[in-house]
Amino acid sequence: MTAPPTGRQYALGYGTQRAVIVELGAGLREYSTDVDEVVDGYGVDEQPDGARGQLLIPWPNRVAGATYRFDGEVFRLPVNEPRTGSAIHGLARAQPWQLADVASASVTLTLDLPPDDGYPFTLGLSATYSLGDTGLTAHVTATNNGQRSCPYGAGAHPYVQLAGNGLINDALLHLPADATLDADERGIPTGAVIPVDGTGYDFRSPRPIGATVLDTAFTRFRAGDDGITRISLTTPDGRHGVAVWMDMAHDYAMIYSGDTLGDDSRRRKGLAVEPMTCAPDAFNSGAGLIVLQPGETHTCTWGISPF
């Protein structure tokens, strides 16, 4: 039997919840409940198109021109988005992660990210996925195992959907963010932070997505009293919903309605809600960029909660 293109599959279960985590990139391939599929994932014999369910390490979104300067040196990354000439979504998603621990409702995968010319740093990575009473939780850590400081950012790329698997247009989006990042035609932030007041991007009170096209970075979140930011989709009748939540390590989130996916049939079927510790192109702008000193560890946690 031919192995799946994403490698070993780790099936988790808890009550009526089911999830599948894959070896390639420690990605989330499936997540469902007894109501329906919670994420718009992909089949066991498929590749994760559109970065579907992937972890975005050591940078989320784009590095403009696939080039950046750090600590007085210029580094050039492989261009993996020819349309914009950018390096997109990091390096770890293309690597096979190693199993460290597995149980019925949790799995931990690790990776010693190999240094290369564009990112000549030594990172030790760990990702733990677990199912519980509140849904799915992902806990990601990175340790600088090298002898020099290194730039770092983390993100995730789940596409969430509602029962029925229809288009997202009628779904109510609640996005407690006060601002967006202005971006050029390549999706690279210009440096301007735009308040959402009076714009089509104000979802601070739940409202239908409608025909709004989203490929937009949001920031200045209004977290709950517990320090958690929750971005939610709800059916128009309020009977079902799903929230992507993120801890205070995440100051940004990319929201993508999938209008430019290569497969027309998948467009606007799920909403990508992408927690990010830094802004797009942070390796150049420094917006939210984490600089890990030798031996230093960074942790971030996000999750998905059906309701």
For the chain, which domains are there? Answer: 9-306 (2.70.98.10)
Kindly give the parts of the chain with pLDDT less than 70: 1, 164-165
pLDDT, residue 282, reads 98
Angle at 238 between CA 234 and CA 242, to 5 degrees: 30
Calculate the CA 219 to chain-centre distance: 15
> What pLDDT, in 10s, does the model give residues 139-186?
999 999 999 999 999 999 999 999 766 899 999 999 999 999 999 999
H helices within the chain, ranges in order? 282-285
Determine whether 89 is exposed, middle or buried from the number of CB atoms within 10 Å of its CB (0-12, 13-18, 19+). buried
What six digits make up the tokens of 33?
């409940």
Residue 165 confidence (pLDDT) = 60
Query: In this structure, are residues 30 and 39 in contact, taking their beta carbons and an 8 Å threshold?
Result: yes
Residue count of the chain, please give it.
Answer: 307
- Alpha-carbon gap, residue 31 to 29, rounded angstroms: 7
3-state SS of the chain: helix, strand, coil percent to 5? Answer: 5, 45, 50
Rounded Cα gap, residues 46 and 267, in angstroms: 17
